[in-house]
Amino acid sequence: MAVQIGYQEQCRSVSQRTVLKFGGTSVGKFAPEIARICLSSIFQNHSVAIVCSARSGESKSEGTTNRLLKAAREAAKPNSTRHHDIVSGILHEHLETAKFVSPEIEERLRWDISAECNALENLLDSLSKTEDVPPEAEDKILSVGEKLSAQYLTALLEDHGILAQYVDLSDVIDFTVPRSLNQEFYRELAYAIGRRIELCGDKVPVLTGYFGLLPGGLLKQIGRGYSDLCAALAAVGTKAKELQVWKEVSGVYTADPSKVPTAKLLSSIDPREANELTFYGSEVIHHFTVEQCLPSIPIRIKNVLAPQSPGTLITPSSPANLQSHPKRPTAVTVKHQITVVNVHSHRKVEDADFLAQICKILASRSLNIDLFEKNQFHISLAVHSKTPIVKGPEDRGGEQDAEDLLSQHKDLQHAIEELSEYGSVDVVRNMAIISLVGLQLKRSIGIAGRLFTALGDGNINIEMISQGASEISISCVIAEREALRALNVVHTDLFTFLD
């Protein structure tokens, strides 16, 4: 093992800190690459802090976070012991990766992993008579994934000769949390995280992407991208030079490069476009991350497998830049697992109370409205379930865990029953939303027509059409089975042919 050295020797004139965020797949599959990236950053005189997600395997459905959610659900069932098998699998997987040159580092990590999993089992056992998992318990269960990842990366860096310090942020919130999280809360949390980082001195801080208990639960308040937000708060709290979010692709493309071979890498993207792409299905970055960092701290999406690639910079576009770029969309994306709900009202849809009640019913059943259109007596809504799922759309062809599907089916059925009081209701399942996104859309003449023509020429039927409220997106609802073909058809017609 290399002789360990601290920052004072590694970089005698340290520049502003760079925050490096590594996703679960990178931690699970590309740990050696992470170590090389950190070494390279340090020896280029960059002071770094690291934030990591819970470990994932070949797919997110088999990732630690999904298994922890499933373990919690199993533990709450009367007389169920299946959560023990899930925890045993998590323990075995993490112990298998704990193999280092230094026997001391390896032994310490194996002990830490075992201790975390033992505590997890005790917590799960305490849920046996609850039937439902309380938000506070769910948050504590979720935190184990990020703790195991951060402990592993700390040991990995130490084994490569870098002095590193594990930073558990599960108790970082030492102040009163408002029920509605406002900017003052995030400002105070960023400051608290920054203090924890500075306490590490000349060691590389390795932070858990989990940052403590929140009213109503972390998933309800933030969603599954909470580790991205944690990295943003770390960047704000340390006044970082840049936040780098490391993935397994070289940045943001004009379409998903795993599905569209002709997709092209974008050198930069406006934060409004990044948020819109994330909302409509592309996993660019959590929108809270953008809100916290920009405009003061730039965000760069980079590839763990191609660290020399500059990636995609998320930064606000100036009017001059917009004028110099061609008038075309920035990207096309697809959002899966959409259901269309049509309500044929007994009264005028313009009634504000009617619209409010529709939204309230859907929200109470964990159904988010993505798009809607209406006329005098009819409203159509494209919705998706916001209930945490064990398998996501990226793992499909999108098959979800059977219990998740049942839960989401019940939510939808209950919503339909309640909506029936306001009129007749019909439902169209297995749909998807295809969206064009770009700041140039509001300056582009004929783009919407080209989108509809491309889909029509491909014999792809359109169920709904919507212009985004932000004026930087145009969306259509199509059949799920046509989503992949539609993505390629639209990209070919509106991106490849326009070049």
Q: What pLDDT is recorded for position 149?
A: 97
The Cα 162–Cα 39 span in angstroms is: 8
Q: What pLDDT is recorded for position 79?
A: 85
Render pLDDT for 203-228 as a digit per residue (tens, 0 to 9).
999 999 999 889 888 988 898 889 99
Q: What pLDDT is recorded for position 403?
A: 61
> 3-class SS at 467?
strand
> 3-class SS at 62?
helix
Q: What pLDDT is recorded for position 42?
A: 83
Q: What is the DSSP letter of 217?
A: -
When pLDDT is averaged across residues 433-458 and rounded to a whole number, the result is 88
The Cα 218–Cα 222 span in angstroms is: 6
**E strands of 30-139, at which residues?**
47-52
When pLDDT is averaged across residues 55-70 and rounded to a whole number, the result is 82
Q: How confident is the model at residue 356 (pLDDT cuts 50, 70, 90)?
A: confident
When pLDDT is averaged across residues 51-79 and rounded to a whole number, the result is 86
- Is 50 exceeded by the pLDDT of residue 415? yes
Q: How confident is the model at residue 392 (pLDDT cuts 50, 70, 90)?
A: very low
The Cα 317–Cα 271 span in angstroms is: 8
Q: What pLDDT is recorded for position 397?
A: 39
Higher pLDDT, residue 26 or 59: 26
Percent of the chain with pLDDT over 90: 61
Render pLDDT for 157-194 as a digit per residue (tens, 0 to 9).
999 999 999 999 999 999 999 888 899 999 999 999 99
Q: What pLDDT is recorded for position 259?
A: 95
Render pLDDT for 261-288 as a digit per residue (tens, 0 to 9).
999 999 999 999 999 998 888 888 888 8
Which range has the worst mean pLDDT, 84-98, 221-235, 431-445?
431-445
Higher pLDDT, residue 310 or 225: 310
- Is 60 exceeded by the pLDDT of residue 14? no
Q: What pLDDT is recorded for position 401?
A: 57
**E strands of 214-256, at which residues?**
242-247
